[in-house]
Chain A
Amino acid sequence: MFGLSRCGPIRSHLWEYAEGTLGDAAVRSRVERHLATCAACRALVEGYRPAAAALRDFASFEQAGSPARPPRWEEVRSRLAGSPASPPRRRPTLVPALGVAGAALALGGAVVGIRAVTQPERYSYEAPATPASVEEIGRQRAVDVATAGERQGGPVRMSADPAFLFLPPRGTFPITVQIRNAGPAVEKARLSVTVSRTPGRTYEYDVSLSENSTTKLTVYPSVPAYGAPNDAVDLTLTGPFPRRSALVPTGTYGVHNSGLTVFGYVGDDISALHSRARTKDGTVVNRRDGKAVYGYVKPEEAPGKSVGYEPVDVLVLGKGAERLSHTQWSAIRQWVLSGGSLVMTAGVGPTVVRSSDAAEIAPVDIGTRVWTVYRRDRYPSHAKGALVRLSGILMPAPTNPVEGALAKPDAEVLGGLEQGRRGTVVRRRLGAGTTLYVGIPPVALRDTVDDVAPFWSEVAALAAPTVPANYVRRAAMESAWFRSGNANAASGGDPFRVTMPRVGTVVNIFALYFVLAVPVTFVVLKRLRRMEWAWATGPALAALTAGGVALMTASLYSASLSRRTAGILVGSPTGEARFVGFTEMFFPRAGTFPVTIPGAEAYDYAPFDYGGYSGPNNGLRRDLATHQVGGDLTTRLPASNLSFRRLYHSQTVRLSGGVTGSVQYLPKGGFRCEVRNDSGRPLRSVFVVIPHDTAYHFFRAPMGDLAPGSTLRKDFSSLDVSTAGRTRRGDVPAEEAFVPYYPLVQGFSHASGRRLDAPFLVARMSGREFGPDLGKSVGDDQSVVTLFALPAAEPRTGTSMKGGRP
C-alpha cells in the first residue's frame, strides 16, 4: 500500500513520469529516488505506461480526426441574428430559500426550549414507633452515637444527635454536635455534614477547639422532604488528628403532607407530652397517638436559630425553659413571627421566666401570677383522671391550685376561672404566628390523666398560627406572580436595567447569516467559479454575525450588578418583622461576590440560574451556614457571566412604621378593602392579598398607590385569583370559601358585615431595607416587593382602621 506521507506528493507525478512527459528534472529525480525504494509506486508506473501511451495516442487520434458532423455555422448564425446577448438564466432560488427556512425553523425550535416539569415522588408517611421508654431510648441513642465516636480513640472525640429527639426530619433538621478535645488546642478543624450520602449536598464548618475543652454546636442541614429509606446524615471531623465520624439516621418520613401535628417540647422532662395508657391489669404502657408526633429537647440543646424549629408545628415550653439563652429566645421569637405556634405552660410560668425576650412575646404579663383555687366540691363529676371542659378547653380535672396569669392588652383570654383579663388560657397573635399560655404544667398533666392526646390536640388547634410557616414560605414564592403579572407596575419593565436583546432580533441576525452565507457560497461564488473564496467569505460572514451579536450583548456585559427582593414581610405589634422571601441577583460578569444579609438565619441558594428552581427546602441550602447567631450572614457567592441567581433568605427587620389593612365582606356581595400606610415610605401598586382555602390560592385586590400617612378604601366585586402561580379573573367567592383554611377568619361573622383582617399586603417599595448587600456596586433599581401581614394589635370593633404600630 501507499505510504501516505511518502507516496502522496509523488503519486500525482507518476503518470507524467510513465508517459515520459515529466519536464521538471528535479521532480523527475525525486520520483526516481522514490521509485527505487517503493515497490508499490513502481508497480503503479508499470501499469501506467501502456495506459498512458494508449491515451496519448488516442488524444492525438481524436485531435486529428474530423468531426462526424460538419460545422453548421449558418444555423448558429440564424439563431444569433435575432437574439442579442441576453442575461443569463437565473438558477432556481427555491432550494436556498428552503434551506434558509429550515435553518430558521431549527433555530426557532432551539430558542424556544420546553422544560419538562417533574413532580417529586411522594412517599407515604409512616409514623415512628413509640419507644418503650422515651428517656431510656434517648439515653441509649446518645450513648450509641457517643460510643461510635469514642471508639476511635485519640484525644478528640465527637458525638452527634438530632436536636429534637424522635422528631421526623423535614426541611432543616437541627443536629447537635459535641466535640471533646482532651489534647492541645486545634486551631483549624473542619466539620463536614453530608446529607443523604449524596455528594454535592455537603455543609462545611470551620471549627477551632481549645485545649482540654468541650465544643458544642448545632448544624442545620436541609433534609429532603421526601427522603429515601435509610437515609442518614454523615458527620466527619477532620483536623490534625485521626478522622472522626458520626452518623445520624433520618429515616423515611413525608411529614410535609402527612397532616400530622408535630409537637416539639423544650424542657427537662422529655416525656412530658407523651401519652400513656393503663391496661386492665393496671400496668402502664406507652400509647401511640396516630395524629401527632412528639419531639423532645433539653433547653440547653434547643436550636439557636429559628430555622432549627422548622420541623415543629407546635413548640411547647415546659419546666426548665427558663434556662433558654437570649439567643435561643430570639430564635424562637423569629420562628413565631414567621408562622410558628408557641405554647408556654405553667411550668415555664411567670415566676420562672425572667428573660426580657420571653416577656416580649409572652401572651401574659411576666411576673404576674394569678392563683385560683380549684374547688372540687363545685365540680363533683370531675374525678381525678377525667378530662373536663374547663377554662375553655378540654383539660384534665386539675389539682389545686390552678395557675393563671394576667393577659397582655393585645392578647385574648380564651378561658379562665377568673373574670376580666385574668386567664388560664390566653392567646396572642404575633406576626404570622401565635403564642398561647396554658396554665397547666405538662408533667402534672401526664401524672393526672392517662391519655393527654386529646388535650394537646385542642391546644394545637387553639395555638394554630395566623398563617402557618410553610404557607408563609409558599406565599413568599408565590409573590413571583406579582412581579410577572405586573411587570410594568412593579419594576418599571426592567428591574435589572439590563437591555436584553429580543429573541426576534437574535433570530433575525442568524437568519440573515444563513440568507447571506448560503447564496454567497453556493450561488454567487459557484457562478463566479471562485468556490475557493468560500474559505474567506465563510469566516468573514461568521465574524460579522458574531460581531452583530456581540454589539447587542455589549450592553449586558457593561450592565451593573443589580438585585431585586420579593417576599413576605410579617409584622408584629412589637415593631419587629420577619422577612421571608428571596432576592434575585443579576451578575453581568463572573466572579465571587461577598454578600451580607443583616439578621439573616435561613437561606437557600440556587447555585444555578433559577429557571428550574422551585423554592426553598429543595436541599440546596449549603455553604452559607454560619454559627454567628443573631449576627449578619456574610458569605461569598460564586456566579458566572450573565447569570441570574436567586437567594432565598429569611431575616429579622425592624419596621420604622406599620401598614395595616382590613377586608370587609359586604352583605350584598363582594369585598371592601382598606389599607393605611404608616410606614413612612410611599407604597406603589398596593395589593391586598387574601389567602383562600389552601396555600395555593390567593385573591388579590389592586389598591393603587399609597402615600405615607394616607388611607385607601375600595370595593371589589371580582378579584384576580392566583392559583399555583397562575392568575385569572374570578368572582368573589362565598365567604365560606375562606373559612376552612384561615383560622383568623373563623372568629368573625362576615354576614354581619364585620371586619376581616387582611393578612397580607402586597406593595412595591423602594429602599434597601431587605435583601442582601452585595460587595460590589448594586444597580439603581432597589425595588422591593413585599407582603405585609399585620394582624390585630389589640381587639378592635367596627371597621375603623388602626394605623401604625403602638
Chain B
Amino acid sequence: MPVTLAAWQKVAATRPTTTEDEPTDGDLVARSRTGDLAAFEALYHRYEGAVYRYAVRLLDSPDDADDVRQETFVRAFQSLARFRGDARFKTYLLTICGNLCRDRHRSRHRRPEQGYGLELPDGFGFAAEGTCPLAGLEKAADAARVRKALGGLSPETREILLLRHVEELEFDEIARVLGCTRLSVPVRLFRARSRFRVAYLALSNDET
C-alpha cells in the first residue's frame, strides 16, 4: 500500500467539519422541531454527504441514491417528533435511509429496470479533489477493487460493513439502523468481514 494513512487524513481535513462554535445536533433538532427550516438546513448540509454515500453504496446507483437522500431528509423532518434524541441524529438518518434503500431494493426486484453494475460513479473519485493524481489513481484502483468486492456481497452484508467501517457507527447504533438486537451485531459483523475477506482476496489474486 503506497499511500499512508497520514495522506488520507490530510485529504480528509479538506472536508468541512463541525467546530465547537457550531450548534450541536441536539440544538438543531430542537429548533427544527419548532419548524425552523434554517436549523434543519444546517442538519441537511451536515449529513447529506453521509446519507448519499451510504445510499449509493447500497443501491449502486447515483440517481437512486440522490432520490433517497432527498426522501430521507423529508421523512426525517416529518417524523422528527419520534426522534427522542437518545441516539445520534446521524444514526436516525441512516436508519431512515437504510429503510428507504431496502424498499427500493425490493421494488427493484419486482420491477428490474437497471443492472447492478459496479462501474465507478461519474465524477466520484479522488481526482475530483485535485490532489496527487498518481496516488489518486492507485487509490482509485484499490477502492474500485473494494467496491467490486462489496458489490459482490449481499445487501445485508454490505450494509453492516459500510455502517461499521465507513460510517463508523457503534454496535448499538448499527443495531438501530438494521433493526436487529445489539447482541447479534458482532456475529453479523464477523460473518460479513469473513465474506468480504474472501471476496477481496479473490479479486486481488485475479488481478495479480
Q: Does B associate with A? A: yes
Cα–Cα, bound, A88→B99 (Å): 14
CB distance from A9 to the nearest CB of B (A): 10
| Contact between B65 and A51, CB atoms less than 8 A apart | no
In chain A, positions 30-73 with a C-beta closer than 8 Å to chain B are: 44, 47-48, 50-51, 53-69, 71-73
The answer to whether residues A67 and B145 also contact, given A76-B73, A529-B179, A532-B183 and a CB cut-off of 8 A, is: no
Q: Is the interface of A mostly helix, strand, loop or mixed?
A: helix
The answer to whether residues A75 and B70 also contact, given A54-B200, A61-B139, A66-B129 and a CB cut-off of 8 A, is: yes
Pairs A–B under 8 Å by Cβ, sample size 11 = A50-B200, A54-B200, A60-B12, A66-B128, A68-B56, A68-B62, A69-B62, A69-B69, A85-B81, A529-B179, A531-B179
Task: Mark A residues whose CB is within 8 Å of B.
Answer: 11-12, 15, 44, 47-48, 50-51, 53-69, 71-73, 75-77, 79-81, 83-86, 88, 526, 529, 531-532
Q: When the two chains form the complex, which single residue of B11, B14, B176, B204 contacts A50, counting CB atoms closer than 8 Å?
A: B204
User: Which residue of B65, B78, B168, B186 has the most chain A CB atoms within 10 A of its CB atom?
Assistant: B78
Q: CB-defined interface of B69-91 with A at 8 Å, one 1/0 digit per residue? A: 11001100111111000000000
CB distance from A275 to the nearest CB of B (A): 91
In chain B, positions 142-195 with a C-beta closer than 8 Å to chain A are: 142-143, 145-147, 161, 165-166, 168, 175-176, 179-183, 186, 189-190, 193-194
Of the 9-residue stretches B23-31, B39-47, B106-114, which lies at the interface with chain A?
B39-47
Cα–Cα, bound, A66→B125 (Å): 8
| Contact between B37 and A80, CB atoms less than 8 A apart | yes
Cα–Cα, bound, A749→B54 (Å): 104
| Contact between A63 and B15, CB atoms less than 8 A apart | yes
Cα–Cα, bound, A73→B15 (Å): 19
CB distance from A76 to the nearest CB of B (A): 5
Cα–Cα, bound, A753→B73 (Å): 101
| Contact between A88 and B79, CB atoms less than 8 A apart | yes
Residues from chain A with Cβ under 8 Å of B128 in the complex: 65-66
Q: When the two chains form the complex, which single residue of B1, B82, B125, B197 contacts A65, counting CB atoms closer than 8 Å?
A: B125
| Contact between A57 and B139, CB atoms less than 8 A apart | yes
Given contacts A51-B196, A58-B146, 10 further A-B contacts (CB under 8 A): A12-B189, A47-B201, A53-B1, A63-B12, A66-B124, A67-B53, A69-B62, A77-B41, A81-B37, A529-B176
Q: Is B133 an interface residue (CB 8 A)?
A: no
| Contact between A58 and B186, CB atoms less than 8 A apart | no
Q: Which residue of B lies closest to A65 (CB)?
A: B124
Residues from chain A with Cβ under 8 Å of B197 in the complex: 47-48, 51
Residues from chain A with Cβ under 8 Å of B60 in the complex: none
Q: Is B123 an interface residue (CB 8 A)?
A: yes
Residues from chain B with Cβ under 8 Å of A50 in the complex: 200-201, 204
Cα–Cα, bound, A11→B143 (Å): 26
Q: Which residue of B lies closest to A88 (CB)?
A: B79
Q: When the two chains form the complex, which single residue of B5, B53, B190, B204 contacts A12, counting CB atoms closer than 8 Å?
A: B190
| Contact between B122 and A80, CB atoms less than 8 A apart | no
Cα–Cα, bound, A172→B193 (Å): 79
Cα–Cα, bound, A86→B168 (Å): 31
Q: Which residue of B lies closest to A86 (CB)?
A: B78
Q: When the two chains form the complex, which single residue of B3, B65, B166, B183 contacts A69, counting CB atoms closer than 8 Å?
A: B65
Residues from chain A with Cβ under 8 Å of B123 in the complex: 68
Residues from chain A with Cβ under 8 Å of B196 in the complex: 51, 55
CB distance from A92 to the nearest CB of B (A): 14
- List 8 A-B pairs, minimum CB-CB distance, nearest first: A60-B8, A58-B146, A69-B66, A51-B197, A68-B124, A59-B166, A64-B11, A51-B200
In chain B, positions 91-147 with a C-beta closer than 8 Å to chain A are: 95, 121-126, 128-129, 139-140, 142-143, 145-147
| Contact between B11 and A529, CB atoms less than 8 A apart | no
Cα–Cα, bound, A532→B184 (Å): 11
Q: When the two chains form the complex, which single residue of A72, A83, A84 contacts B70, counting CB atoms closer than 8 Å?
A: A72
| Contact between B49 and A88, CB atoms less than 8 A apart | no
| Contact between A84 and B35, CB atoms less than 8 A apart | yes
Residues from chain B with Cβ under 8 Å of A53 in the complex: 1
| Contact between B126 and A61, CB atoms less than 8 A apart | yes
| Contact between A59 and B165, CB atoms less than 8 A apart | yes
CB distance from B75 to the nearest CB of A (A): 9
The answer to whether residues A71 and B201 also contact, given A51-B196, A77-B37, A531-B181 and a CB cut-off of 8 A, is: no
Q: Which residue of B lies closest to A74 (CB)?
A: B41
| Contact between A532 and B166, CB atoms less than 8 A apart | no
| Contact between A76 and B70, CB atoms less than 8 A apart | yes
| Contact between B193 and A48, CB atoms less than 8 A apart | yes
Cα–Cα, bound, A449→B13 (Å): 134
User: Which residue of B12, B122, B197 has the most chain A CB atoms within 10 A of its CB atom?
Assistant: B197
Residues from chain A with Cβ under 8 Å of B189 in the complex: 12, 15
| Contact between A60 and B78, CB atoms less than 8 A apart | no
Cα–Cα, bound, A379→B1 (Å): 141
Q: Which residue of A lies closest to B56 (CB)?
A: A68
CB distance from A597 to the nearest CB of B (A): 64
Residues from chain A with Cβ under 8 Å of B183 in the complex: 532
Cα–Cα, bound, A634→B8 (Å): 97
Cα–Cα, bound, A699→B126 (Å): 102
Residues from chain B with Cβ under 8 Å of A77 in the complex: 37, 41
Residues from chain B with Cβ under 8 Å of A75 in the complex: 70
CB distance from A60 to the nearest CB of B (A): 4
CB distance from A567 to the nearest CB of B (A): 64
Residues from chain A with Cβ under 8 Å of B81 in the complex: 85
Residues from chain B with Cβ under 8 Å of A68 in the complex: 52, 56, 62, 121-124
Residues from chain A with Cβ under 8 Å of B80 in the complex: 85
Residues from chain A with Cβ under 8 Å of B200 in the complex: 50-51, 54-55
Residues from chain A with Cβ under 8 Å of B204 in the complex: 50
Cα–Cα, bound, A48→B197 (Å): 6
| Contact between A73 and B44, CB atoms less than 8 A apart | yes
| Contact between A80 and B40, CB atoms less than 8 A apart | yes
CB distance from B149 to the nearest CB of A (A): 8
| Contact between A67 and B180, CB atoms less than 8 A apart | no
| Contact between A55 and B161, CB atoms less than 8 A apart | yes
Residues from chain B with Cβ under 8 Å of A54 in the complex: 142, 145-146, 200
Q: When the two chains form the complex, which single residue of A12, A44, A80, A85 contacts B186, counting CB atoms closer than 8 Å?
A: A12
CB distance from B200 to the nearest CB of A (A): 5
CB distance from A168 to the nearest CB of B (A): 73
| Contact between A15 and B53, CB atoms less than 8 A apart | no
| Contact between A67 and B49, CB atoms less than 8 A apart | yes
Cα–Cα, bound, A66→B139 (Å): 15
Cα–Cα, bound, A11→B122 (Å): 38
| Contact between B15 and A88, CB atoms less than 8 A apart | no
Cα–Cα, bound, A526→B197 (Å): 32
Residues from chain A with Cβ under 8 Å of B180 in the complex: 531
Cα–Cα, bound, A15→B197 (Å): 10
The answer to whether residues A60 and B11 also contact, given A15-B193, A69-B66, A71-B48 and a CB cut-off of 8 A, is: yes
